[in-house]
Structure 1
Amino acid sequence: MAGIYIHIPFCKQACFYCDFHFSTNMAIKNEMVEAICKEIELQQDYLKGELVESIYFGGGTPSVLNEGHLKSIFTKLNKHHRISSEAEITFEANPDDITSSKLDELFQNGINRLSVGIQSFDEDVLKWMNRAHNSKQAFQCLEWINESEFNNFSLDLIYGIPISSHETWEKDLRTLVDFQPPHISSYCLTIEPDTVFGRWKQKGKLNEASEDYASEQFYHLAEYLRKANYEHYEVSNFGKAGFHSKHNSSYWQQKPYLGIGPAAHSYDGKNRQFNISNNAKYLSAIQTNEIPAELDLLTAEDRINEYLMTSLRTSIGCNLSFLINELQYDLLKNAKPQIEQWKSSGLCILEDDYLKLTLKGRLLADKLASDLFLVD
């Protein structure tokens, strides 16, 4: 089983926190879609004929695409890859791009799951983040989704916002759950250097929320959604039973996937591949039938480290037998003092041959995983 990720590198405007690759220049949108279709053809052998069980349109903002663009991309995908009849096909969208007719168009063209970037229902917070939508549009798009044929969709929220409050966070959670989305993704605001917020921070114009403030909101998020019958199956992801994201889960389970488009990443089960994060150079290369990608050959240590990083973020946890049998690494033997310390601090448990982080541990998942990393 495999997945395909398609990066659509366009946005109407730049959110002040975002460091993903995108451009606000829509003039080359048609040319970019043609190049994406060409790359699908050029990369047709990457997955070695494996059945594709998930396709994910990310970005950027895929909802800037029109119906013609979608038809072209799906024609190429179906021609060059084996797509499961039950494939999960996710489409990221912003609330301001969603209309009743747009939803019908997406559903009729094969999209069966939406991922909508709400981020907040608070007008001041949305303006501060420079989101393209307002609060009214957030509510309206959710009403349209509930009236549409989509029964599988995910909504995003951001916490740890320094200009906000616990009261606003509580209201956002309550509002979101009232719409009963099958899936919720929630991320802590991170200030990256090459963003507007990053430059504000460097100039002393922005102070990040304290760790205690963000931690309190994370714990409240987890408890609130638990009571609302959401399964906390990954640090930042919550789903009703049967609605966990197949595509994102494939990353954490280290299944192979093909990334198409500028800045897209691929993984063949052993090594990684990274497309160039430059629209002009990407287009130029594809036009000459070249794949503008850099290959990253993973060492045995790299593969162990990646498995530790991804598995410890999930509720399933790290499979100790998999590490021994597939990666020839005995974690309990090599990191026993560290794991015993975590257990005594309430950060992890050992259960049925799995090392699992507790809720307290998940808050520190990336740091804890890095503490176990092997060095080449």
Structure 2
Amino acid sequence: MTEIAHTFRRYLEETNRFQSYLYSYPHKTAYRTFEEKLDLKELWATEKKHALYLYTHIPFCRMKCSFCNLFTVSHPKEDLVNLYLKKIQLEAEVVRDSLGDFNFAGYAIGGGTPSHLDITQLEQLFSIYTNTLGVDLKNTPGSFEVSPDTINDEKLTFLSQHGVQRLSIGIQSFIEAEARSVGRVQPETVMEPLLEKISSYQFPVFNLDLIYGIPGQTAETWLASLQKAIQFQPTEIFLYPLYVRPLTSLFKKHISIQNEDIRSMLYRIGRDFLQTNGYAQDSMRLFRKQVAGLRESSEYSCQEDGMIGLGTNARSYTTDVHYSTEYAVSKPNVAAIIDDYVAKERADFTTANYGIRLSEDDRKRRYLIKSLLKAQGLDAAHYQGIYGTDVYADFPELQTLLEMKLAQESAGRMQLHGEGMAYSDLIGHWFISPAVKQKMQEYVSK
């Protein structure tokens, strides 16, 4: 066994498997101000643009949950929201003019809470998609995030009529005391009718988010939430382990999360329960039912294709440059970044000022992480076709996953299986490059 393989095995055996959630790579805390501003036209000139993904960030909420470290501010003034949407319009115009010929294969509207927008504001946002960016809403898979306290019949009707395919709502827990402990006030008498109403709209994909590891949560209460969740027949359920992150309310209150043993137990309970009830595991967090006729983008590949982000903290990806506005968690710093965004003029949107350049090594690591941590797994031949090297030679630690029976290989594809998926956060964290890891460690939370 090589030294690196031995070190990796010991790391997997001895390290708390609940590391940070690596939903993108490189992590946003590795972003910095570029030494020179990058012109968007030049940045996108040689990129493939036939199957881009579009993400719009709405950084407003009615309330901010105590575990949340997302870029969002609660109780914004109405004139700020309206001004923000005007700047989204301006940014979209610059993007359109900078990209040339392009097509979006999918889109997502997240936050924050996009359903914080009223109907007039939603109409304005979707008009930007259709009239400025040419998104064919009826034939482009789109996702929209809502919260229990901001969604209603009028908005559901609007979203359904505008072709939204996936509606996602964060419940976190159906136990009122548990929800309250993480800053959510959602009485059962309100939640059940709301979820029944959402189900009646028959969005092709209806997603529920739940959290395990909440202080005071037990195996019994966790199972009760899971049982309640499937009563509403969601097509997707995300199970998130609770992390207490810097500058969140939980962090400030010095709330300690439940230890690895109980979170591992709760994870297994959730996984086994959902698989028994017809849900297939797509990742450590995502469980999905197969839905006949579901419209999925066969064009977009998250490992290879680009992304356009609109709004504050919305990331854009080219092959070797990722960029966005700055990131913050605390209310004053989030507010300052939003104020800076709404003060921008057209010329300010023509350049990328903040982000990271990806080395070839980091591009390989991104492909590896975005493939291996999903059920579809890592296609070694496709990797070699892109980068011209053998993935097992580039990352000999992969053999350790096979030897530990955390992964299997079949027809040239390596997939995590069984307990392997439970190690996803640990595995993902290991494959962060030393250079990116150093930037993340040097980042000062604000």
Same fold per superposition (TM over 0.5): yes
Matches of 1:226 and 1:286, distance apart in 2: 51
Query: What CA deviation, in whole Å up to 9, does each residue of 1:279-328 have, x standing for no partner?
Result: 00111124664357424221101101111221111001111112212123
Give the number of the structure with larger relative contact order, counting CA–CA contacts within 8 Å between residues 6 or more apart: 2
The counterpart of 2:262, out of the listed 209, 213, 220, is: 213
Contact 1:50/1:82 (<8 A) preserved: no
* Pair 1:123 & 2:172 matched: no
The counterpart of 2:235, out of the listed 172, 182, 185, is: 182
TM-fit CA distance, 1:345: 1.9
The counterpart of 2:246, out of the listed 193, 200, 209, is: 193
Matches of 1:187 and 1:216, distance apart in 2: 13
Matches of 1:21 and 1:308, distance apart in 2: 27
SS of the aligned residue for 1:258 comes to: strand
Residue 330 of structure 1 corresponds to which residue in structure 2? 390
Residue 6 of structure 1 corresponds to which residue in structure 2? 56
SS of the aligned residue for 2:313 comes to: coil
Query: What CA deviation, in whole Å up to 9, does each residue of 1:136-182 have, x standing for no partner?
Result: 33212111112224342111111121221110110111111111111
Residue 69 of structure 1 corresponds to which residue in structure 2? 121
Matches of 1:143 and 1:199, distance apart in 2: 36
Residue 112 of structure 2 corresponds to which residue in structure 1? 60
Residue 18 of structure 1 corresponds to which residue in structure 2? 68
| Higher mean C-alpha deviation, range 349-358 or range 324-333 | 324-333
Residue 305 of structure 2 corresponds to which residue in structure 1? 255
Question: Structure 1 unaligned runs (5+)?
Answer: none
The verdict on how the C-alpha distance between 1:194 and 1:282 changes in structure 2, with shifts beyond 3 A counting, is same
Matches of 2:143 and 2:428, distance apart in 1: 29
Contact 1:7/1:58 (<8 A) preserved: yes
The verdict on how the C-alpha distance between 1:295 and 1:224 changes in structure 2, with shifts beyond 3 A counting, is same
TM-fit CA distance, 1:102: 2.7
Paired residue type of 2:187: N
The verdict on how the C-alpha distance between 1:246 and 1:366 changes in structure 2, with shifts beyond 3 A counting, is farther
Matches of 1:245 and 1:130, distance apart in 2: 35
The counterpart of 1:283, out of the listed 342, 345, 361, is: 342
Matches of 2:326 and 2:426, distance apart in 1: 28
SS of the aligned residue for 1:311 comes to: helix
Residue 163 of structure 1 corresponds to which residue in structure 2? 216
Matches of 2:228 and 2:278, distance apart in 1: 16
TM-fit CA distance, 1:73: 1.8
Contact 1:272/1:295 (<8 A) preserved: yes
TM-fit CA distance, 1:268: 2.2
Query: What CA deviation, in whole Å up to 9, does each residue of 1:204-252 have, x standing for no partner?
Result: xx221111111111112121111121121122111111488958x9574
Contact 1:19/1:192 (<8 A) preserved: yes
Contact 1:8/1:57 (<8 A) preserved: yes
Paired residue type of 2:200: E
| Higher mean C-alpha deviation, range 284-293 or range 347-356 | 284-293
Query: What CA deviation, in whole Å up to 9, does each residue of 1:81-118 have, x standing for no partner?
Result: 34244211211001122223331132224433211111
Matches of 1:114 and 1:366, distance apart in 2: 26
Tell me the percent identity.
Answer: 26
Contact 2:176/2:185 (<8 A) preserved: no
| Higher mean C-alpha deviation, range 284-293 or range 168-177 | 284-293
The counterpart of 1:236, out of the listed 280, 285, 289, is: 285
Matches of 1:308 and 1:14, distance apart in 2: 33
The verdict on how the C-alpha distance between 1:38 and 1:262 changes in structure 2, with shifts beyond 3 A counting, is same
Matches of 2:97 and 2:284, distance apart in 1: 33
Contact 1:16/1:130 (<8 A) preserved: yes
Query: What CA deviation, in whole Å up to 9, does each residue of 1:50-108 have, x standing for no partner?
Result: 32121211000111111211222222222333424421121100112222333113222
Tell me how many residue pairs correspond in the alignment. 370
Contact 1:12/1:132 (<8 A) preserved: no
TM-fit CA distance, 1:374: 5.1
The verdict on how the C-alpha distance between 1:68 and 1:109 changes in structure 2, with shifts beyond 3 A counting, is farther
Contact 2:303/2:366 (<8 A) preserved: no
**Pairing of 1:274-313 with structure 2 (within 5 A):** 274-277=324-327, 278-286=337-345, 289-290=348-349, 293-313=353-373
Matches of 1:311 and 1:129, distance apart in 2: 32
| Higher mean C-alpha deviation, range 58-67 or range 216-225 | 216-225
Residue 319 of structure 1 corresponds to which residue in structure 2? 379
